[in-house]
């Protein structure tokens, strides 16, 4: 059969072409599977107002060296919502770092007006924004309840996101204020007076100078009241 060699050659070429076509497709499928797992890992503990997506930057030929089902964990403690990060892929005793790019969509709060230093944040000082979070700074606060009641540390311009470093808790006690000192113990509760040396929000530790001139430390428990620490 004179046409048989040509037929066999065509068949071999088809097989080779199919193999070459399947290899990159298989690698692409594995990369997509890994990206989905990493995305699930990132969104598992994230705020419900944020949805992250992942693009894997590590070349496919390096990913092919890993096991099929690695244990994944995010490397480092990066407060950014987006940007390039590293993910650790653990296969038994072998570790590999996977480079990824994180994108995020969600909602956040910005100032409705410019806020001066010392301004207590009210609900009407906030307005909501939504969309890509790529330009948001690290430490942005996403929950309204974590913003209202806080105090501006410095000047915050209008339409600026609320960031942890720019806010503080409202002072329950201010330096120089006369306070009531409480010294609770088993079966007794001693009360005295003193003057605060430090500013303190509720739950903060501060120093107080007693009326006898002694410096003691305690915890701000409410407006004008300090529970002092008693040494054993």
pLDDT of residue 9: 57
Tell me the three state secondary structure of residue 203.
Answer: coil
| pLDDT per residue rounded down to tens, the chain (232 residues) | 455 555 555 544 444 454 444 444 545 566 778 888 888 888 876 666 788 888 999 898 888 888 888 888 888 777 788 889 999 999 888 888 999 999 999 999 999 999 999 999 999 999 999 999 999 998 999 999 999 999 999 999 999 999 999 999 999 999 999 999 998 777 667 889 999 999 999 999 999 999 999 999 999 999 999 998 877 6
pLDDT of residue 76: 76
DSSP for residue 46:
S
pLDDT of residue 22: 43
Distance CA 153, CA 79 (A): 20
Cβ 74 vs Cβ 109: under 8 Å:
no
pLDDT of residue 46: 66
Residue 190's H or E segment, with its range, is: strand 188-196
pLDDT of residue 23: 44
**pLDDT tens column, 142-188:** 999 999 999 999 999 999 999 999 999 999 999 999 999 998 777 66
- Per DSSP, helices labelled H in the chain are 4-44, 60-63
Tell me the three state secondary structure of residue 62.
Answer: helix
Cβ 106 vs Cβ 142: under 8 Å:
yes
Can you name the residues that pair with 85 across neighbouring β-strands?
A: 100
Domains of the chain (ranges, CATH numbers): 4-103 (no CATH), 105-168 (3.90.1210.10), 171-228 (2.30.30.760)
Cβ 72 vs Cβ 41: under 8 Å:
yes
Q: Mind spelling out the 3-state secondary structure of 112-168?
A: CCCECCCCECCHHHEEEEEEECCCCCCCECCCHHHCCCCEECCCECCCCECEHHHEE
DSSP for residue 169:
P
Contacts of 65 (CB under 8 A, 6+ apart): 96
CA 29, chain centre distance (Å): 30
CB atoms near residue 179 (< 10 Å): 23
pLDDT of residue 21: 47
**pLDDT tens column, 15-25:** 445 444 444 45
Distance CA 151, CA 54 (A): 35
Tell me the three state secondary structure of residue 182.
Answer: strand
pLDDT of residue 20: 45
pLDDT of residue 232: 61
Contacts of 136 (CB under 8 A, 6+ apart): 81, 82, 108, 161
Residue 169, CA distances (Å) to 33, 69, 98, 101, 220 in order: 44, 45, 39, 34, 12
Distance CA 55, CA 67 (A): 19
pTM value is 0.67
């Amino acid at each position: 059969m004179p046409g048989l060699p040509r037929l066999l050659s065509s068949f071999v070429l088809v097989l080779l072409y199919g193999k070459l076509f399947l290899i990159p497709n298989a690698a692409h499928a594995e990369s997509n599977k890994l990206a989905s797992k990493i995305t699930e890992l990132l969104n598992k503990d994230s705020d419900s107002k944020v949805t992250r997506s992942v693009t894997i930057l590590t070349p496919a030929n390096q990913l092919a060296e890993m096991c099929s089902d690695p244990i994944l964990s995010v490397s480092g403690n990066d407060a950014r919502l987006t940007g390039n990060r590293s993910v650790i892929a653990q296969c038994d005793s072998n570790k590999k770092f996977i480079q990824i790019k994180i994108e995020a969509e969600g909602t956040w709060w910005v100032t409705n007006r410019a806020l001066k230093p010392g301004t207590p944040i009210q609900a009407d000082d906030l307005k909501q924004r939504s969309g890509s979070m790529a330009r948001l700074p690290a430490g942005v606060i996403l929950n309204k309840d974590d913003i209202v009641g806080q105090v501006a540390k410095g000047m915050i311009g209008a339409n600026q996101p609320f960031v942890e470093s720019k806010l503080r808790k409202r002072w329950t006690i201010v330096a120089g204020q006369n306070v009531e000192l409480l010294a609770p113990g088993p079966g007794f509760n001693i009360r005295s007076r003193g003057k605060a040396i430090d500013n303190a929000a509720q739950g903060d530790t501060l120093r107080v100078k007693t009326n006898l001139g002694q410096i003691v430390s305690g915890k701000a428990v409410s407006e004008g009241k300090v529970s002092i620490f008693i040494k054993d």
